Amino acid sequence: MIWSIAWRNIWRNKLRSIIVLAAITIGLFAGVFSTGFYKGMADMRVESGIKTEVSHIQIHETDYTLNNEIKLFMPKTNEMVDNINTFAGVEGASRRIKAECFFKTAHGTRGVKIIGVEPDREKKVTDIYEFITEGDYLDGDHRIPRILVGQSLGDKLKLKIGSKIPVDLVDIHGNFSSRLYKVGGFFKTTNTGFDERNVFVTFDDLKKQLDLPDDAAHEIAIYLNKNTELDTTYHKIEKAYPNLDVQTWRDISKELALVNDSMDEYMYIFVIIIMLALCFGIINTMLMVVMERTKELGMLMAIGMHRIRVFFMIILESVFLSLSGGIMGIAIGYAVIRYFEKTPIKLTIFQGFEQYGYASEVYTNLPFSTLISMAVLVFVLGIISAIYPAWKAIRLNASDAIRTD
């Protein structure tokens, strides 16, 4: 009976209850949608960082990553790649050669990282080939070797397909080496900074310019079927090659690891701030309810209703109010998130975020478990918000309350 009384009490002042419900609904919707939006943005950054830039696991010669010394290369890498491809959970592995070089064009000189890749193997490790905006990927043999340039870098240097670029670098013997390349294609990823810092050529062309031994490479990049298999596969590879430096994407890119690890904490902090704001609103509402019904509460206690039942009734009113608005807000937020999981939110006004690797089109993402956690928080919020008003109610003196006008 106390349950039905508490529910009816909510609607005794319909306007006030509707305003409070609307505030809770809007607040929870904002919390759910914002959480899904930022979660989606962070997940896309991590996913693109792994798939486009670093891959899941990389292998280098010991101390190579300290200063990227080109003399620190690994021998017999072709055999290593073939072996790694047999590991369970590995989708693909590819060799790379890396060096720092200078571009010389009529419109300026730029220092970039030149990466030599094996096109067929690289397609199983990164998705650069999917971001070609003009021209072709590094396929086929050419008299003048082809180079793949980021679209933003090409625009700054006013390059076009077929432009010839002298690439200057220092080979493994410390000698100056210059070679002419022809622009074969442009690519544009979601990370403008990556596009401006990296160019790609074929593995054999860069090996020849650096005068590296046959079958040598600076890096082996490994892409897995699932990120959940990361630790297991990492330990297998580390055990197979104990004398080499094996790193996961978390070790390679601290920024990606920070984004991935801290996003949940940021989301909960944001939601808790919203919850606290709603909590004060509900406390204020329930205090007004107690003050308006002082005479009524005094009469209930005077005719024998136990103070615990009065306390429980006020708590129930707050819980019903919180859950009604909270469930509506969560449901609407979830529906909107599901819609934008398929249809991206276009942030063309914030395209500058691409400089830091964040896409200007965001697909929302929010695990259902997070919604359950929010619903539980709403329930707890309803109880906490009513404790002080309910305590005020049971502290009333029945005889004094009855005489209240």
What confidence tens digit (pLDDT) does each residue in 77-98 have?
Answer: 999 999 999 998 899 999 999 9
Q: Which of 243, 274, 291 is the last residue of a domain?
A: 243
For residues 177 and 321, membership in a common domain is answered with no
Tell me the HSE value of 248 on the side-chain side, using a 13 A CA sphere: 15
For residues 41 and 160, membership in a common domain is answered with no
* Cα angle for residues 202, 191, 41 (degrees, 5° grid): 135
Decide if 359 is inside a domain.
Answer: yes
**Domain limits for position 66:** 62-243
Decide if 184 is inside a domain.
Answer: yes
Strands (E) located in 188-297: 198-202, 219-224, 245-248
| Overall size of the chain counted in residues | 405
What is the reported pLDDT for 56? 93
For residues 102 and 226, membership in a common domain is answered with yes
Helix (H, G, I), strand (E, B), or coil: what is residue 35?
A: helix
Beta pairing class for 345-346 and 361-362: antiparallel
Average pLDDT, the chain: 84
Question: In the predicted model, is pLDDT for residue 226 greater than 80?
Answer: yes
Question: Number of folded domains in the chain?
Answer: 2
* pLDDT (tens digit per residue) in 293-328: 667 666 766 776 677 777 777 788 788 888 888 889
pTM of the model: 0.79
For residues 164 and 293, membership in a common domain is answered with no
Question: In the predicted model, is pLDDT for residue 110 greater than 90?
Answer: no
Helix (H) or strand (E) holding 117: strand 108-117
Helix (H) or strand (E) holding 333: helix 307-342
DSSP codes, 53-74: II-SEEEE-TTHHHH--TT--B
